[in-house]
Amino acid sequence: MKRDETISIVAALLGVIAGALLAVLVMKATAGRKLSVEGPGWSKVIAVLNTVDADYVDEIDHKAVSEDVISETLSRLDPHSMYMPPVQRQASEEDLSGGFEGIGIQFNVPNDTAIVLEVIPGGPSEKVGIMPGDRLIKVDQTVIAGVKYPQDSMVRRMKGPSGTKVTIRVLRDGEETPFEITRGRIPLHSVDASFMLNDTTGYIRLTKFSATTSDEFRSASAELLSQGMTHLITDLRDNSGGYLNQSLFLSNLFLEKGRTIVYTEGLHDPRHDYLADGRGSLKDIALTVLINENSASASEIVAGAVQDNDRGVIIGRRSFGKGLVQKLYEFSDGSGMRLTVSRYHTPSGRCIQKPYNGEEDYADDLYNRYLGGEMLDADSIKVDKSEEYHTVGGRTVYGGGGIVPDIFVPMDTTRASDFYLKCSRKATPMRFASFWFDSHKAELSKIDDFASLTRYLDASSIEKNFLDFARQRDGLVPASRSEWEESRSYMLTQVRALVGRYSKLGEKAYYYIYSEIDTTIQEALKPHSLD
């Protein structure tokens, strides 16, 4: 072998050896160290965070990572344990404890577009026609959809001093519509309306269980008792709940001393029974409670206490099924954490909480109930027959989540003509009511009783003016006379109720007039007995 060839082979071998040695050194340098995860609890999580902090290539945004970790951790526990950034926590407290100046909506931002969850009754947004489900596209000239616009910045743009205006552009059923809203002091009363439906039957609509609920309810019921009430219809439909103590105060008004209202129990929270003290002012009147699929939490405590104690009749549709008890933990930076610590059980022992098998399944539950026919047919209600319980009078009730009413009232889908749906998409009835008020402020502002309001509405040409408004402003015309006749009774009553809201009677006028076509209230006015 020639000398040059020998040198080449040796050089190649040395190169291979050097490369192997370098690879070994690199592997040793990047191998890190073995992390100990022995012991109970969060040792592995802590080890990961400490290692990231010590060895990660770049600077860590500890605040952002911490908030993501907290949110993700709590979301894996149950549907109602949650982390609340400062803005969200403040909004939650405002909703249950006080008021604020703004446009009067609650919204969520699930996929980079804000979706209206609730329009506060009597607030500025409701009066112009903003509806739950609307997608918020613009605030004045600022695009807030599809651009990862911060949620707290959205809130700041919508809030503002009373009397100032803001234009909100919404997407509804594929069509964008601008709404000019005059900001105001948002009414956050618990009792939306209370009045006598007839000579002996009183009606109270309760929208939430806030810090003032018991005082408002006692005041409203005292006024109705003075007017001769012997039967009370308590409307808890679409009431998503609130403070536990307020549901206890309300239930206590109806029950005899020693009767169980609810009990709570959890792994680290021993069973606690809440009992009536027997000093309630409404123990001796006939009682009906209205619920639906959006009645949750504190509403279900009241409905369950009334049902299990055979104190009154529950009418409507199966309630939501939110029976997890959250405790609020506050952080020094203004944020907060709601952590589930126990479960609500009705007096008979039923757990109010419906099953949850993942976030998506839980979120779609009401939609799946509708698809399964539960909203239309009582026989389609899914109850767990293996969880059989009994009221104090021996009636059988079942577990499985939520409160199943004693009398079922289906969702009314018979009035949804094509003209009605088109008007609803454009909020034509609400916008007409606002238009009418602008032209008839003097007359409406003088009306402060139902009889006068009825006479005024009967004498006004509201039907013709509404159809003209729908045609001229929104380009909507009933396809035929028969189509209008199909919708007339329902739509005209709705329009009259919306116009009546602008009188001094406010929300009372709306619910009083609307009760004429409210099938659940009409059912509650019939005689019923528990058997």
Map out the domains of the chain with their CATH numbers: 42-73 (no CATH), 100-185 (2.30.42.10), 191-411 (3.90.226.10), 418-522 (no CATH)
Listed in order, strand segments (DSSP E) in 236-318 are: 260-266, 269-275, 286-291, 313-316
DSSP class of residue 209 equals B
How many CB atoms are closer than 10 A to CB 304?
29
* Half-sphere exposure of residue 166: CA atoms within 13 angstroms, side-chain side: 24
Q: What is the per-residue pLDDT for 325?
A: 92
Label residue 140 left, alpha or beta by phi (over 0 means left) and psi (-120 to 50 means alpha). left
Q: Who contacts 489 (Cβ-Cβ below 8 Å, separation ≥6)? A: 517
The whole-angstrom distance between residue 531's C-alpha and the CA centroid of its chain comes to 33
The end-to-end CA distance of the chain, in Å, is: 111
pLDDT under 50 in the chain at which residues? 10, 24-28
What is the model's pLDDT at position 525? Answer: 97
What contacts 378, CB < 8 A, 6 or more positions away?
A: 408, 410
SS3 121: coil
Which tokens sit at 429? 């009835």
Q: Which pLDDT does position 111 carry in this prediction?
A: 66
Which pLDDT value is given to residue 166?
Answer: 95
**Cα–Cα dist 429/415, whole Å:** 15
Could you give the 3-state DSSP secondary structure of residue 433? helix
The Cα–Cα gap between 227 and 142 comes to: 52
Residues 6+ apart with CB under 8 A from 321: 296, 300, 352, 353, 354, 365, 401, 402
Q: Which residues are catalytic?
A: 297, 308, 322
Q: Do the beta carbons of residue 463 and residue 469 sit within 8 Å?
A: no
Residue type, 405: P
Task: Decide: 190 and 207 in contact? Cβ < 8 Å.
Answer: yes
**How many other CB atoms sit within 10 Å of the CB of residue 281?**
13
Q: Give the span between the Cα atoms of 526 and 412, in whole angstroms.
A: 18
Residue 365 has which token pair?
Answer: 């539950």
Q: Average pLDDT, whole number, for the chain?
A: 88
